[in-house]
Structure 1
Amino acid sequence: MLDLVIDARPADLGNGFGVRRILPYRLRRMLGPFIFMDHAGPVHVAPELMPALDVLPHPHIGLSTVSYLFGGQVTHRDSLGVEQIIRPGEVNWMTAGSGIAHSERFEDPAALAGGALEMLQTWVALPEAAEESAPAFTNYQPQQLPIFTEPGVWMRLIAGDAFGLHNDVKTHSPLFYLHVVLQAGARFGLPRGYPERGAYVAKGSIEVAGHTYRAGQLLVFTPGLDPVLIAQEATTLMLLGGEPLGERFIWWNFVSSRRERIEQAKADWQAGRIALPPNDNHEFVPLPQDRSRPAGSGASPAPQPLS
C-alpha cells in the first residue's frame, strides 16, 4: 500500500526562518516531476519583524516553482520585471527554464492577515525538451481553479488533471497537485492514471490501511493500488504526483538532466549573467561555497532558499 513515509525535516532558510523540508529525501529524490517541497509556517511574528524573513534575489534553472499560500501574503519580484503579491488560494507558477532570478519579500503588514503566514513551495522539474525554455511567470486567481465539494470534502485543483477536473495552469508534463480539506470521518482516494502518487498531511491526521499518519508526513503510495484515506480529525492534505522524468541533478536552486549545465549555472550566477529583478536589484544571495558535486539520485543538495 505504502512504498515510503517521509517525515518532514527542519531546515533553516536564514534569519531564523524555519521550514519543514519534505523533498528531496535521501531515499526518494522525486515524486513524479516534483523534486522539492517545503512547508513554511504558520509563522507568527510581529509585523515589524517580517522583513527579516525576506528571501533575497536568487537564481533558478531547469524547473518551475509553484507557490501556494494557506495564510498571509508574499511579494514576488523577478528578472522579467514581474511584481506580484501572492495571496492564499492562488497559484503562482514561475518557469525558470534557461534562467531567472526572483525575490520573495514580506514587506506589508497584511502579510500576517489572519494571524499567520503559511505557504507550500514546490519545484517541478522540466522535461529535457523544456529545460532551456524561456522564463515565464503566471498568476492564477482562485476563481480559475476548479473546486469540488461533497459532504465532508472540499478540494481545489492546483494544477494538472485529477478526478475529471482540469484547469488552465500551464504544465510541461503529466502531473496532479491538489489541496484537499476533509472533515473528521471523511473518506478520500487518489487520482488514477499516474504511476507515482503521494499525499502530504499538512494539518490533522489520516488513517490508511489501519495505520495513522500525522501532520508533517508525506505518504508515497505503491503504484497500481487505490488506497482509501480516512480523516481522523479535520485534516488538510496536499496530493501530488505524476509521470517520472528520469534522473535529475540538483544543487542549490539549480535543476538539470545534465551535470555540466549545473556547473554553467553556477558560473553564470557568479559572473552576473543571470539578471536580477529590475525592481529589486540592490542585494542578492551569493553562490554558496561548493563543497560537493551536483546532487543526483544519491547525494543531498546544498541548502536552498524557499524558492
Structure 2
Amino acid sequence: MIERIIDKRPHDLGGGFEVGRVLPFHARRMVGPYIFFDHMGPVDLAAGIPRELDVRPHPHIGLSTVTYLYDGALTHRDSLGFHQEIRPGEVNWMVAGSGITHSERFEYARAHGAHMHGIQAWVALPVEDEETDPAFYHHEGADLPTWNEQGIRGRLIAGEAEGMRAAVKVHSPQFYMHWDMEAGASRILPAEYEERAIYVAAGTAELAGQRVHAGQMAVFEPGRDVPVHAEERSTLMALGGAPIGPRFLFWNFVSSSRDRIEQAKEDWRRQRMKLPDDDDREFAPLPAEGKA
C-alpha cells in the first residue's frame, strides 16, 4: 500500500537557515499538484538574530505557495503590496501565476525570540492557469474547517476532503490537512484522490501497517483506504490530489514549458520583476545551473 518513503534532506535557504526538503524527490517529483514540500524547524531563534537568516526577496512563476506554521511567526511582503504576519494555524496562499516576488522574514523572532516550526509547500498550477494573474490570500478561523475525533484534532488547510471544503482558492482537485494525534489515536485516510501522501512532522505513526518516523513522507498507492495509527503524540500532514502532468522546475520557477523557465531566469537576471513594496533594497541572486 505504501509506494515509497521519502526522508527529508537538509537544505540551506541561502542565508544559513536550514530546512528539511522532502519534495521534489528524484524518484517522486510530485504528489498530486504538490511539487515542493519543506519542513522548517523545529528550531529556537534567539532575539537579535541576523537579517541574513531571512528569506530575501525572490521570484516565482507557475505555482501557488502555501505557508503553514505550528509555532512562531513569519512576515510576508510581496510585489502586489501585501504585508502580512502569519501565525500558527493560519494560511498564506500566494498565487504566483505569471510572476510575483516576495520575502519572508523572521521579524517577530528578531524582536522577541521564537520557537519556529512549520511547513512550506508549492502547488503547481494546471497548464491553463500557469499564466494567471498573481494574487495573495490570507485565511484563518472559519475559512479552514476544523474537527475533533477521539484523540485527534484536524484542520483542512486547502481543497476538499471528507465532505469539507476550505475557503482557499485552488486551481485543481486537491487536499491538504493537518492532524494532531494523541498516542493511540487512529483514523483512516480515504481513497478519495489518485495521489496521496502523509508526512510525519512530529512523533511516530503506523501508516498502512508500517512505522514512519518524524521527517519521513509516505506516498501511497491509489485505490485503497490507508489506516493511520499514532504510536505516540504526533503531528501529521496529509496531502495530494489529481495529477496535473510533468513540470520543469528550476530554483523558484515551475512550468510545463522549459522555454518559460528560461524566460523567467532572464527576467530575474535583468531585474525586470518588481520587488516587494517596502522590501526592495536586496534580493536573492539567480543561482548557478545545477545549484537550484
Report if TM-score (shorter chain) is over 0.5.
yes
1:183 deviates by: 0.8
The one-character-per-residue Cα deviations of 1:50-99 (angstroms, maximum 9, x if unpaired) are: 53311100000000000001111111000001100111101110000000
> In the alignment, what sits opposite 1:74?
74
* Aligned residue identity for 1:126: L
Give unmatched runs, 5+ long, in structure 1.
292-301
2:226 alignment partner in structure 1: 227
Matched to 2:43, the amino acid is V
1:111 to partner: Cα distance: 7.3
Q: Could you tell me which residue of structure 2 aligns to residue 175 of structure 1?
A: 174
Unmatched segments (≥5 aa) in structure 2: none
Alignment of 1:286-305 (within 5 A): 286-291=285-290, 302-303=291-292
CA contact (8 A) 1:2 1:222 kept: yes
Deviation at 1:289, TM superposition (A): 1.6
Q: CA 1:110–1:289 in 2, change beyond 3 Å: closer, same or farther?
A: closer
C-alpha separation in 2, matches of 1:180 and 1:111? 30
Is the 2:151–2:181 contact (alpha carbons within 8 Å) kept by the matching residues of 1? yes
Structure 1 residue 10 and structure 2 residue 14: aligned? no
Q: Distance in 1 between the 2:156 and 2:111 partners?
A: 24
Aligned residue number for residue 159 of structure 1: 158
Q: Compute the displacement of 1:118 (Å).
A: 1.0
List aligned pairs for 1:199-218, cutoff 5 A: 199-218=198-217
Alpha-carbon distance in structure 1 between the residues aligned to 2:179 and 2:278: 36
Residues 45-56 of structure 1 correspond to what in structure 2 (within 5 A)? 45-49=45-49, 51-56=51-56
Q: Secondary structure at the match of 1:132?
A: coil
CA deviations on 1:98-145 (whole Å, 9 max, x unpaired) are 0000001112348766x4011200000000010000000000013321
Other structure's SS at 2:52 match: helix
* Count, aligned residues: 292
**Which residue of the partner structure matches residue 267 of structure 2?**
268
1:147 corresponds in structure 2 to 146
Distance 1:151 1:50, change over 3 A: farther
Shift of 1:168: 1.2
TM-score, normalised to structure 2's length?
0.97
Partners of 2:145 and 2:133 lie apart in 1 by: 28
Shift of 1:278: 2.1
Which residue is 2:87 aligned to? 87
Q: What residue is the counterpart of 1:130 in the other structure?
A: 129
The amino acid of 2:211's aligned partner reads T
Q: Does 1:107 align with 2:116?
A: no
Moved more, 136-145 or 249-258: 136-145
RMSD: 1.4
Which structure is higher in strand share? Answer: 2
* Contact residue 153 and residue 179 of structure 2 kept, 8 A: yes
**Range moving further from structure 2, 201-210 or 169-178:** 201-210
Instruction: Give the distance between the partners of 2:4 and 2:22, measured in 1 at CA.
Output: 12
1:25-49 Cα distance to aligned partner (Å, 9 max, x none):
0000000000000001112121101
Q: 1:93 and 1:80 mapped to 2: Cα distance?
A: 13
Q: Does the aligned pair in 1 maintain the 2:32–2:242 contact within 8 Å?
A: yes
> What is residue 282 of structure 1 aligned with on the other side?
281
**8 A Cα contact 1:77 1:83, kept in partner:** yes
Give secondary structure in 1 for the equivalent of 2:128: helix
The list of structure 1 runs, each at least 4 consecutive aligned residues, that deviate by more than 2 angstroms after superposition, is 108-113, 208-211
Asked if structure 2 preserves the Cα contact closer than 8 Å seen for 1:75 and 1:106, the reply is: yes
Partner of 1:117: 116
**Partner residue of 1:298?**
none
Helix, strand or coil for the counterpart of 1:220? strand
Residue 214 of structure 1 aligns with an amino acid whose one-letter code is H
- The residue aligned with 1:240 is 239
Contact 1:66 1:91 in 2 (8 A): yes
Distance 1:226 1:118 in 2: 29
2:252 maps to: 253
Conserved? CA contact 2:190–2:224, under 8 Å: no
One-letter code aligned to 2:163? G
TM-score after normalising by structure 1: 0.92
